Amino acid sequence: MQRASRLRRELALLATEPPPGITCWQHESQAGELRAQILGGVDTPYEKGIFNLEIVVPERYPFEPPKIRFLTPIYHPNIDSAGRICLDVLKLPPKGAWRPSLNISTLLTSIQLLMAEPNPDDPLMADISSEYKYNKQLFLLNAREWTEKHARQ
């Protein structure tokens, strides 16, 4: 019950005051299934890309974080080929930083920030991480190519 009313409030807020470059909506009639789009940030290799994400909100939300993954392939050290995201706010303590005071808008904004500022010291993709650290030009080139190939409408 708590999940449903909280989700309604959050989705209403996301519809009326969405964070810049982020949209989120309910997927079909599934109560705990949402979809989101994040626009690639200006001056990042993801610029002009539109990235689709799947959000599965667990029954215990907000006491448990939603599961969020990229549906659009993205070349990023903290996002693997299955779209899973390595970000502390998506995990429960002690390993993570999820708190019930966080919401879906905050999480999507954090993911948008991670896209602009990868964390190569906590990678899911070791090869992309070392490329980011030691050959940034190649990383930027590859990330732009992937964006062009997978995230342009």
Dist CA 35 CA 53 (whole Å): 6
The whole-chain average pLDDT of the chain stands at 96
Question: Of these residues, 53, 55, 86, 114, which one is catalytic?
Answer: 86
Cα–Cα dist 25/48, whole Å = 21
Domain 1-151 bears CATH identifier 3.10.110.10? yes
Q: Is the pLDDT of residue 9 over 80?
A: yes
**Alpha carbon distances (Å) from 147 to 6, 37, 63, 134, 153:** 34, 14, 34, 21, 10
Residue 40: pLDDT over 80 = yes
**Model pLDDT, residue 30:** 80
> Residue 125 — pLDDT band, cuts 50, 70, 90?
very high
Rounded to an integer, the average pLDDT of 23-39 is 92
How does strand 33-39 pair with strand 22-26? Answer: antiparallel
Average pLDDT estimate for 44-57: 98
Strands 67-70 and 50-56: what pairing? antiparallel
pLDDT digits (tens, 9 = 90+) for 64-95: 999 999 999 999 999 999 999 999 999 999 99
Q: Is the backbone peptide bond immediately before 120 cis, with ω within 30 degrees of 0? A: no
Can you point out the beta strands (E) in the chain? 22-26, 33-39, 50-56, 67-70
86 given a catalytic annotation: yes
Closest CA to 33 of 56, 59, 5: 56
